[in-house]
Each structure stands twice: as C-alpha cells, then as structure tokens.
Amino acid sequence: MYDVLDSRSVLEVLQPVQDPELRKSLVDLNMIRNVKIDGGKVSFTLVLTTPACPLREFIVEDCEKAVKKLPGVTEVNVEVTAETPQQKSLPDRTGVPGVKNILAVSSGKGGVGKSTVAVNIAVALAQTGAKVGLLDADIYGPNDPTMLGLADAQIVVRSTDKGEVLEPAFNHGVKLVSMGFLIDRDQPVIWRGPMLNGVIRQFLYQVEWGELDYLIVDMPPGTGDAQLTLTQAVPMSGAVIVTTPQTVALLDSRKGLKMFQQLNIEVLGIVENMSYFIPPDMPDKQYDIFGSGGGSKTAAELGVPLLGCIPLEISTRVGGDNGVPIVVADPDSASAKALKAIALAIAGKVSVAALT
C-alpha cells in the first residue's frame, strides 16, 4: 500500500489516530506538524491542546504504534509541544488581551478549601509548562498571597503611555494579583457592586498579565451580590466548584452551580475537598470525617463531572500557611497527586470546550 516512506504516507497512517477527548483525527486537528524522514527514521511534532494534557503519553504511544506499522520505519521520534486554544468569545464581554482562558474557582460556602484548591491548581498547571495567572478576588479573605509565599509582596504600579498599569507578583511559576494587596486586613471593607466592578476591571484590564494559558479567579465564597457582580464582570470560560462532603456544603454548592448556569458559564465540574482523613501515623487507615460520597452524588444529580477528591492532610494546611503549596512541598502526597490530576482534568475540559 505504501511504496515510499514520505511525509504523506506518515500523515495517512496517522489519520485514524484520534485525540481521545476531542474524538477527532490528530491530523485534521493540525496537531501533527513538521514530519521529517531520514532513512528509516521518522520524526514529527505533536502539538497538544494544553501543556497539561492528561493523556499525553497515551497519544504519543498511539502515534508511535501507527507510524511503526509503515514498512521501512526503524525509529519514530515524537517531539511534544502545546498550543492552548483561545476560549470562545462571550456575548457582551471583553476578553483580556493575551489571556486564553479565564476560569473561576468558587464555593457555595466559606472554609471548604477553595483558595487551597485555586492556588494548588494554578501551581500544578504552571508545573506542566503552562503560563498561569491567579486573580484573588476573594474580598472576604484574600489568602492567596500567603498561600503562594507572597504575603509581603507589594503590587507595583507603573506609568506607561497607556496609563497606569499594575505588575503582578510572582512565585512558584504563577503571577498573582490579590485583593489582599489593596485592603488593610484589619479594616472591614464593604464592597458595593460598582466599586467591586471597578477593581475587578482594573485587575483584568490594567494588569500586565502578558501571555497566559490560564487565568484562575479565586472567587469570594457564596452566591450573593458580590459573587454575581464578579461573575458578570469577568469573561470566564468555565467554573470549578469546590465543596466538602457534608450536606450543608453540598446544598450551597448547588446554588453556586445554578448561578453559573444562569449566566451561561460552563461548570467544568465539582471538586470534593476534605473527602477523608489519613492519619499520618496510620497511612493504611482512612476516616470519612464529613461522610462519604457526597461530591459524586451531587455531581451525578446535577449532571456535572466530579473532577476529583482531595483528602484532609495536615501537610496541605501547613503548605498553605508556609506559602509552599502542597504540590511543591510534597508532590507525592495523596493530596498533591489528587490536585495535580484535577488540574490536568480541568485543562483537558477547557481545551475541549474551546475546540468543540
């Protein structure tokens, strides 16, 4: 069938190989580029739709298997790169130049670990090579500077010919802008809609974010006016809802889900935090402190995916307090593994949403 080994025959054997999430041919998606033949050696570039592709190895293996079937092939070299697609444009919303995808991390209730999840997901995505920003919009408890090791950072304002711009702080591979840089922690601030709107617009459009694959927005907990103002002001492509297994937390997360759905923002899934406790001195034991299975039940009821379950681990809390997120401090811990898998699942879903 294939008399000559050339780039056309390589593309032909790769034609049936699909991106497992997009269910389309890699060739049709323009994910196979720079095919080169040198004797029996075939090399090409595989351009994934996110550096955090959860199925990277699987896709590479499929490509190698397909090309090795060609007569005369002695070696296959696949160079893997990524180009994150731009989120679809939203009606009545202005995107942020250079920022490909904006994602909300929210919770119906306070204290469920929303900021812990937002910070660790941001860092986990950056660890894969993605360019990541974090906008800490939690007006009630802006903890991201502490959790990212930037408690003492100052936001720098520069005058340019386009007016004043803010320079984000940076640590663990993530650019950060936080409400915490603006407000005095000991002074309660009452945020009225227009004021919050103004600050958020500044955080979106007057910050030198540069090129970002993902801008994660750590939302304030709850579903009140502030959350609604924010959800309407930010051109988000998707939202992640963090919950704990208790019934109350789950009821609240249902409200959060409805809020996003009403505003036509895709809910990418639910993260169940504090799912179970593993005592550090008894790693074989597991205690379901807040009950079990709540996250998966709610996800099934509401028809959204469960992105993952994170155990309650002392080192996760310590990582947050010390400014070294658990995915950096102890990447092999159960929590870090769960958080990294959740970050990859989110990246996969974002690419699918952008390309379908």
Ligand X SMILES: Nc1ncnc2c1ncn2[C@@H]1O[C@H](COP(=O)(O)OP(=O)(O)OP(=O)(O)O)[C@@H](O)[C@H]1O
Binding residues for ATP: 108-115
SS3 of 137, please?
coil
If one asks whether residue 227 binds ligand X (CB under 6 A), the answer comes out as: no
Nearer to ligand X, 51 or 269 (CB): 269
State in angstroms the smallest separation of the CB of 43 from ligand X.
43
Nearer to ligand X, 13 or 174 (CB): 174
State in angstroms the smallest separation of the CB of 267 from ligand X.
17
Nearer to ligand X, 80 or 182 (CB): 182
Nearer to ligand X, 138 or 266 (CB): 138
Residue positions in the annotated binding site? 108-115
Kind of pairing between the strands at 41-48 and 32-38: antiparallel
Are 96 and 178 within 8 A, CB to CB? no
Kind of pairing between the strands at 99-106 and 18-19: unpaired
Encoded tokens for 351? 């690419």
Which of 19, 62, 138, 252 lies at the binding interface for ligand X (CB under 6 A)?
138
d(CA 20, CA 103): 23
d(CA 140, CA 115): 12
SS3 of 180, please?
helix
State in angstroms the smallest separation of the CB of 95 from ligand X.
26
Q: Site size for ligand X, by CB under 6 A? A: 21
Encoded tokens for 67? 């090309």
Which of 312, 342, 344, 346 lies at the binding interface for ligand X (CB under 6 A)?
312
H helical segments located in 141-276: 144-147, 193-205, 225-233, 247-262
Which of 226, 310, 344, 345 lies at the binding interface for ligand X (CB under 6 A)?
310
Which of 145, 256, 294, 320 lies at the binding interface for ligand X (CB under 6 A)?
320
Kind of pairing between the strands at 266-277 and 306-312: parallel
SS3 of 21, please?
coil
If one asks whether residue 85 binds ligand X (CB under 6 A), the answer comes out as: no
State in angstroms the smallest separation of the CB of 230 from ligand X.
13
Which of 32, 62, 114, 328 lies at the binding interface for ligand X (CB under 6 A)?
114
If one asks whether residue 112 binds ligand X (CB under 6 A), the answer comes out as: yes
If one asks whether residue 337 binds ligand X (CB under 6 A), the answer comes out as: no
Which of 51, 108, 113, 348 lies at the binding interface for ligand X (CB under 6 A)?
113
Encoded tokens for 215? 């801008």
Which of 120, 178, 223, 316 lies at the binding interface for ligand X (CB under 6 A)?
316
Are 246 and 273 within 8 A, CB to CB? no
Q: Which helix (H) or strand (E) holds 75?
A: strand 75-82
Stretch that binds ligand X, among 31-39, 88-96, 124-132, 138-146 (CB under 6 A): 138-146
If one asks whether residue 111 binds ligand X (CB under 6 A), the answer comes out as: yes
Please return the burial class of 242, using the count of CB atoms within 10 Å of its CB with bins 0-12, 13-18 and 19+: buried
Are 233 and 96 within 8 A, CB to CB? no
If one asks whether residue 309 binds ligand X (CB under 6 A), the answer comes out as: no
Nearer to ligand X, 66 or 241 (CB): 241
Are 234 and 265 within 8 A, CB to CB? no
State in angstroms the smallest separation of the CB of 320 from ligand X.
3
If one asks whether residue 116 binds ligand X (CB under 6 A), the answer comes out as: yes
The Cβ of residue 337 has, within 10 Å, a number of other Cβ atoms equal to 17
Q: Name the site residues for ligand X (rule: CB under 6 A).
A: 107, 110-116, 138, 141, 143, 221, 273-274, 310, 312-313, 316-317, 320, 335
